[in-house]
Amino acid sequence: MSIVEFRQVTKTFGPVVVLREVDLAIDPGEVVVLIGPSGSGKSTLLRCINALEEINGGDLIVDGISVRGSRSQVRQIRQEAGMVFQQFNLFPQMTALENVAFGPRRVRGLSRAEATEQARELLAKVGLADRGHHYPSELSGGQQQRVAIARALAVKPKLMLFDEPTSALDPELRHEVLRVMQALAEDGMTMIVVTHEMAFARQVGTRLIFMEDGKISVDGNPAQLLANTDNPRLKDFLQHVH
């Protein structure tokens, strides 16, 4: 059974149509890489999955629950779909450890001690065991993004959404974030990643989706598509990001 299923999903911002009757099914364990020119709707598609954007038409089922359900159903979806943002969005008044422990405490209702213990393990997993007591403003971009990944994982989601997770980082900091993401994929996490990192798509992705003008125009195996595609616009796009 699919963990995410778009059924004829339409999304508009005022007069602008961002998603046009999108159909898409994603199975557990897939690592889906979403690419496309800016304005093609890839970030919006991602943000519809955890209902940060409300869909206007069709239906979208995440882990058996519709994003058009009640508030508590939407919260349930969000707990199952962890999100990593381009701008990290760490809570500035909390240390790295507190950021990671926050979700388990306030969402899952763990005690402070349990949540902190778990946060320590997660920070170690993303290579930041020694940075727990630093505030976000004291960390580099790459470190902040790794804390953000740990924060999302702490709620124990079934799938992870990444919205251009390396776009705000200097080139030399990107690989540390990509490495964490690769390890996560190797652990079997279902991931949907909006990115321009083609090497990541080729090595880690199990599926590549190319979006254009609010529609999915190419959907297939990343290695094959990146080596040789017959879609002229994908070809053109790839030439520009390489």
Partner 1 sequence: MEFDWSVIADAMPALLGGARLTILITLAGLAGGLLVGFVAGLMRAYGNRLLNAIAFLYIELIRGTPIVVQVMFIYFALPVLADVRVNPMTAAITAIVVNAGAYIAEIVRGSFLSVHKGLKEAGLALGLPMWKVLVYIIGPVAFRRMIPPLGNQFIVSLKDTSLFIVIGVGELTRQGQEIMAANFRAVEIWTAVAILYLIMTGTLTLILRVTEKRMRIL
String marking each residue 135-154 x if it binds partner 1 according to CB under 8 A: --x----------x--xx--
Question: Interacting stretch for partner 1, rule CB under 8 A, among 90-98, 177-185, 216-224, 230-238?
Answer: 90-98
Residues in the interface with partner 1 (CB under 8 A) total 26
Taking the least distance from each CB to partner 1, the nearer of 153 and 216 is: 153
Q: Is 106 in the site for partner 1 (CB under 8 A)?
A: yes
Question: Interacting stretch for partner 1, rule CB under 8 A, among 31-39, 59-67, 70-78, 228-236?
Answer: 70-78
Amino acid at 13: F
Minimal CA–CA distance to 3: which of 22, 28, 23, 24? 28
Helix (H, G, I), strand (E, B) or coil at 95: coil
Q: Is 155 in the site for partner 1 (CB under 8 A)?
A: yes
Among 33, 46, 67, 90, binds partner 1 (CB under 8 A): 90
Q: What are phi and psi of 59, to 5 degrees?
A: -145, 155
Instruction: Compute CA distances 157 → 190, 212, 225, 237, whole Å.
Output: 9, 29, 30, 32
3-state secondary structure 150-196: HHHHHCCCCEEEEECCCCCCCHHHHHHHHHHHHHHHHCCCEEEEECC
Q: Is 42 in the site for partner 1 (CB under 8 A)?
A: no
Taking the least distance from each CB to partner 1, the nearer of 148 and 201 is: 148
Q: Is 83 in the site for partner 1 (CB under 8 A)?
A: yes
- Sheet of 65-66: strand order equals 16-26, 4-13, 57-62, 65-66
Question: Interacting stretch for partner 1, rule CB under 8 A, among 9-17, 91-99, 138-146, 217-225?
Answer: 91-99
**Could you tell me the sign of the dihedral formed by the alpha carbons of 171, 223, 36, 8, in that order?**
negative
Q: Is 22 in the site for partner 1 (CB under 8 A)?
A: no
Q: Is 149 exposed, middle or buried (0-12, 13-18, 19+ CB in 10 A)?
A: buried
Among 23, 75, 188, 224, binds partner 1 (CB under 8 A): 75
Among 40, 50, 118, 195, binds partner 1 (CB under 8 A): 50
Residue 61's H or E segment, with its range, is strand 57-62
Reading the block at residue 58, the tokens are: 């069709």
> What does the binding site for partner 1 look like in residue numbers (CB under 8 A)?
50, 52, 71, 75-76, 78-79, 81-83, 85, 87, 89-93, 102-103, 106-107, 137, 148, 151-152, 155
